[in-house]
Amino acid sequence: MSGSDLSDWPGADRRHVPAGSATYVVRSALARWLRDEAARAAERWPEGVRVLDVGCGVKPYYPFFAEHASRYVGVDVVENPMADVHGPVEALPVPDGSFELVLCTQVLEHCDDPAAAVSELRRVTAPGGRVLASTHGVQVYHPSPDDLWRWTHAGLQRLFVRHADWAGVTVHAPSGTAACLGMLVSNYTEQVARRARVEPLGRLLVTGLNRGAQAIDGRARVLREPGPGTIHANYHVVAEVPL
């Protein structure tokens, strides 16, 4: 199926994230990253790639992979009509090494046992395959169904390296310190605007905050790259399985 036939697929607001949204910082970078990873997977596995979407929600990123996926399986811990199979990330109901790409976006912060989750993500990934995970550095409490963990870039690297054998693990902060602060202020701006029934004004203010923060991070490497004194809204992890 072609990605362009899927414009009505659920989760369009996660694939095309307006700058007036308080989740812009997290979701726009995530969508960009997964689009790039889908293109990369299409080149690397031209015969088709098997994709497992762990904690799939509405499978918002399926349209990116649809054209080149020979299988796209969603799994979720809650009763979810979009999920193909039911189970937790800590005990995935799929065979060893059965997917070249394993997505786990914005799920690790919600699961009981992140260490077991990492081992399990590794178990189900095929030789030469990749786990693409994302999770929060900083975010407001948002249970789905729980909300248990936050990380630094170093903590996330350690979590992956300690709990499975990989050919490589990279942790990237796609947005900087100003963006993170902007996101938090945007969150409350959005809420106040909703209560005061002035949502268009709220969107305008949030757009300004997001754009301004992006410009500040763009000028200051010390705010952009993880290091002493920085905070980051989200991290992207690529964990590669040896051939």
- Interface stretch with ligand SAM, choices 75-83, 181-189, 208-216, 217-225 (CB under 6 A): 75-83
Q: Of 106 and 177, which CB lies nearer to ligand SAM in the complex structure?
A: 106
CA 219 to chain centre: 25
Q: Of 190 and 223, which CB lies nearer to ligand SAM in the complex structure?
A: 190
- Interface stretch with ligand SAM, choices 48-56, 93-101, 119-127, 203-211 (CB under 6 A): 48-56
User: Strand 234-240 relative to strand 125-136: parallel, antiparallel, unpaired?
Assistant: antiparallel
Run of H or E including 213: helix 199-219
Per CB under 6 A, 107 contacts ligand SAM: yes
Per CB under 6 A, 111 contacts ligand SAM: yes
Q: From CA 240, how far away is CA 171, in angstroms rounded? A: 12
Per CB under 6 A, 76 contacts ligand SAM: yes
Least distance (Å) from ligand SAM to the CB of residue 7? 17
User: Strand 99-105 relative to strand 69-76: parallel, antiparallel, unpaired?
Assistant: unpaired
Least distance (Å) from ligand SAM to the CB of residue 232? 17
Binder among 106, 139, 186, 210 for ligand SAM (CB under 6 A):
106
For the segment 118-147, give every residue that binds ligand SAM (CB under 6 A).
144
Run of H or E including 235: strand 234-240
Cβ proximity of 177 and 138 under 8 Å: no
> With CB under 6 A, what is the number of residues at the site for ligand SAM?
17
- Interface stretch with ligand SAM, choices 40-48, 94-102, 107-115, 166-174 (CB under 6 A): 107-115
Instruction: Give, in degrees to the nearest 5, the angle at Cα 104 between 222 and 41.
Output: 85
Least distance (Å) from ligand SAM to the CB of residue 228? 29
Q: Of 100 and 109, which CB lies nearer to ligand SAM in the complex structure?
A: 109
Q: Of 149 and 225, which CB lies nearer to ligand SAM in the complex structure?
A: 149
**How many of the other CB atoms lie within 10 Å of CB of 197?**
8
Q: Of 111 and 169, which CB lies nearer to ligand SAM in the complex structure?
A: 111
Binding stretches for ligand SAM (CB under 6 A): 14, 54-57, 60, 76-78, 88-89, 105-107, 110-111, 144
